[in-house]
């Protein structure tokens, strides 16, 4: 069993929210999401063409529209409200939600998932207030809503892969659909500003690198890891991302989560591991 691929994806997904917080100081959330999905779709276009497999593309397009266009926009808004080190643990409860909603499609829901749900509630409670006691109501609500949207998107990815879709083609379709929708909404509402005065040339280069790492490489490594070590182990390993985000953000001096914030993140990560492992 080689955990390298899953752990690499976990590290990528731990770093990317930290950088998105930096970019949100220069771009609004719609512009940032449009840029990242457009870059990822452009990079994946040629590999997807040579993959030559359009199976499940309808599900992939729906997944991208829901998960990346809507869910990721909510996640970016949450990051702008309370920082990556707080938003990421809360949003990652989608892993547990996927487990809990298994009953809706006829799968059994283990008792351990109930315990995990209680741990998640405890973690969210700890993360819902700042060190000064002020509530993070708006940010937590946005992250929780993103988690619900991501849960729906995960089911659509399952349908796309079950239909025999190629992982590269599916990833391209998801990013392409999101970029189109974000472009239409952004330009229709005049909210998209791809060249704000605060953004420099190097910002676009770093953003492109982060977007490709996050939406293309990370997603591919996740799917590839599943094919090698299975869904359960892969999800457990990638669920370390929220805790790693907290650690990395503090080490890098980008954010300074408190001990209570770390405890809340640890509760949630532990709950995700329990939900998948048992």
Domain ranges of the chain: 4-277
pLDDT tens digits for range 143-156: 999 999 988 887 78
Give the residue from 54, 55, 51 showing the smallest Cα distance to 164: 55
Give me 174's structure tokens: 């998801």
Res 18: pLDDT: 95
Judge whether 65 and 177 are in contact, CB under 8 Å.
Answer: yes
For residues 35 and 6, give the distance between their C-alpha atoms in angstroms, rounded to a whole number.
Answer: 26
* Residue range 42-70: mean pLDDT, rounded: 89
DSSP annotation of 128 reads T
* Residue range 201-229: mean pLDDT, rounded: 88
* Other CB atoms within 10 Å distance of the CB of residue 69: 26
Buried b (16+ CB within 10 A) or exposed e, 196-210: eeebeeeebeebbeb
Between residues 199 and 142, the one the model is more confident about: 142
Question: Cβ contacts of residue 144 below 8 Å, gap of 6+?
Answer: 90, 91, 93, 124
pLDDT tens digits for range 177-213: 999 999 999 888 888 888 887 888 888 999 999 999 9
The mean pLDDT of the chain is 87
Give the residue from 3, 273, 242 showing the smallest Cα distance to 124: 242
pLDDT tens digits for range 64-82: 999 999 999 999 999 999 9
* Residue range 258-262: mean pLDDT, rounded: 91
Res 105: pLDDT: 47
For residues 52 and 16, give the distance between their C-alpha atoms in angstroms, rounded to a whole number.
Answer: 30
E strand or H helix that includes residue 145 = helix 137-162
Q: How confident is the model at residue 112 (pLDDT cuts 50, 70, 90)?
A: confident
Q: How confident is the model at residue 251 (pLDDT cuts 50, 70, 90)?
A: very high
pLDDT at 11 over 70: yes
């Amino acid at each position: 069993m080689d955990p390298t691929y899953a752990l690499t994806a976990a590290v990528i997904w731990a770093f990317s929210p930290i950088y998105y917080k930096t970019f949100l100081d220069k771009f609004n959330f719609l512009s940032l999401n449009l840029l990242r999905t457009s870059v990822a779709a452009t990079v994946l276009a040629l590999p997807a063409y040579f993959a030559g497999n359009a199976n499940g593309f309808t599900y992939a397009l729906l997944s991208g529209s829901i998960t990346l266009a809507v869910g990721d926009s909510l996640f970016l808004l949450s990051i702008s409200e309370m920082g990556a080190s707080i938003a990421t643990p809360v949003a990652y409860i989608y892993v547990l939600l996927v487990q809990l909603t298994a009953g809706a499609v006829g799968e059994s829901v283990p008792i351990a998932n109930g315990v995990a749900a209680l741990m998640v509630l405890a973690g969210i409670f700890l993360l819902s207030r700042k060190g000064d006691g002020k509530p993070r109501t708006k940010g937590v609500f946005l992250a929780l809503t993103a988690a619900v949207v991501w849960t729906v998107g995960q089911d659509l990815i399952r349908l796309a892969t079950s239909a025999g879709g190629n992982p590269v083609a599916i990833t391209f379709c998801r990013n392409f659909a999101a970029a189109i929708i974000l472009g239409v909404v952004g330009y229709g509402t005049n909210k998209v500003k791809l060249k704000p005065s605060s953004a420099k040339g190097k910002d676009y280069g770093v953003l492109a690198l982060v977007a490709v790492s996050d939406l293309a490489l990370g997603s591919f490594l996740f799917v590839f890891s599943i094919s090698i070590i299975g869904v359960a182990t892969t999800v457990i390993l990638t669920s370390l991302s929220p805790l790693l985000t907290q650690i990395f953000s503090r080490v890098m001096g980008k954010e300074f989560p408190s001990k209570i914030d770390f405890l809340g993140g640890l509760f949630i990560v532990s709950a995700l591991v329990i939900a998948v492992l048992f």
